[in-house]
Structure 1
Amino acid sequence: MDQRKLRELEQIISRDYSNIAGIVVQQNGITCLEHYFNGYTAGNALHVYSVTKSVFSALIGIAMGKGLIRSVDQKVLDFFPDYVVKAGETTIQNVTIKHLLTMTAPYKYELEPYQEFFASENWMNAALDLLGGDGPIGEFTYSAIVGTHILSGILAQATGQSILEFATEHLFSPLGIQVPHNVVLRSEEEHYAVMNDKNTTGWVVDPQGINTASWGLFLTSGDMAKLGQLYADGGIWNGEQIIPAGWIEESTREHSRWGELSYGYLWWIINEDEQIYAAMGDGGNVIYINAKKKLVVSIASLYVPEVKDRIEFIMTHIEPIFEE
């Protein structure tokens, strides 16, 4: 990469995107740019927030490819036979895996009750208790925590393994990604303490030891770039089909909309015609894939509220540098 352009990019980051900890840009599978900020290095993992959702989408696709989940149209309650549906409740019985993947399931709240959810002794039961209600099925309702956590329970039931074991065996290890252990958070204070801690690695679990699907995964910028490259290459890594190609095609096309924003299976669709999509998490964490240009950008960031739009940053300041 041209050193002058690199210096200009560093200046833009320092001025307008100062919470970025690491950035990796790959084109045609070749690393064109890798740079770190705020004292971080290639070996430091960060909490990637809702980027976890898109990683979890990959795990659902792998499970489907292995026949462990038959269809996205399977009912959610098929995987929770011991869950007792409240009297008079019918909506929850019609919610499918696809509704959770596309954020089109209804919930019994107007504002997501994070504190009540985290304070509960069983997050899975709390999530199921909040699913359904009087809202229509099929209408986009973004659930930052609750809805996607139910997918954790579905995957655990379907595979008979812990989420981390399944992910390590079928996704992380083949890509050389290290997610070494579970992260147990015993209090709100611990929750906030680990979020920008350079030494934290792993994946958060709920009180029953189930890894969280909505958030809680710690990855390096390089890990994120590997996952982006896997998608850009149609699920193939070192000649092995890790994720079914059909799943990648299906999960990165529009299934639902939130205003001007398109949504696939836990992926944001930036431009379907140009095959541009992204995993996005709070604080400005992102895996950006332009499949047509074989361009992958990963950005790992320290959490600060109300960061500037990373997609605009990538499309304005990074993509033009790597135009073919």
Structure 2
Amino acid sequence: MSHSHDSHAAHADAYFVPHGSKWPFAGSIAMFTTMVGVASWINEVAWGKWVFFAGVLMLLATLFMWFGDVIRESIRGHYNKQVDTSFRMGMVWFIFSEVMFFAAFFGALFYTRQFAMPWLGGEGDGVMTNSLLWQGFSNAWPSNGPGAVGGAFQTIPAWGLPLLNTLILLSSGVTVTIAHHALKAGHRKSLLFWLGATVALGALFLYFQASEYIHAYHALNLTLGSGIYGSTFFMLTGFHGAHVTLGTIMLAVIWLRCARGHFDKDNHFAFEAVAWYWHFVDVVWLGLFLFVYVL
């Protein structure tokens, strides 16, 4: 299952630094193109949409080739324990930045429900705000605010598709853990089966979330424009869905790498990194399910 390292294997005292990589430069051009495209598209410039998609394609191509280089360097044995530690620290800080990203949106939801809504309803310091600006508005959640932005809407019951998606994601956390144990035990068929099951569960989650969004927009009038409830609902669930999409792609790539025998029981940080990320996505969803759907 493991690739034999060649004569260029990294030594304990040599930290591998790639020379002359063109990918950071290519990536910056791709990101600049993407941002110019999205800014132009938002401002209704005719060519904005196409520049945005061109930038996204450039970015995807850059990432594909850059990660390809990293994989080849790893297989050739260029990375030692010191480099492995750097990768681990990088992944830890990346996941921490993602935690902070979601904390901002959960914070917005918390502030709205615990402070802004009661004030608008006339509680505490909001007595004058309520009597002068929004007389008759009472604090109740879910709400599209005193302006009834977006019109009347219905919410999605927690105990339908959201509960099913919770069970799907929790199951995927179990399957990826079983796959990890299979990798460490050298059981290739078991590894590929359970990792494949994790990819399938991720794809199933996304299918159900897409179905939920279509139902919300067409049958419930629940949209991103449905006041503060619609905004927080779609920002939290939407960005989480984007992270599940990324995680599923990462798991699929790792499945292909496992099938090609890139890892052994001692050297498989790429697998571990994706497993960490997937568990992070799981935990965020549990918070989401509780604070967005149930409470």
Q: Which one has a bigger Cα radius of gyration? A: 2
TM over 0.5: no
More strand by share: 1
So what's the TM-score if we normalise by structure 1?
0.22
More helix by share: 2
Tell me: higher relative CO, structure 1 or 2? Use CA pairs within 8 A at least 6 residues apart: 1
So what's the TM-score if we normalise by structure 2?
0.23
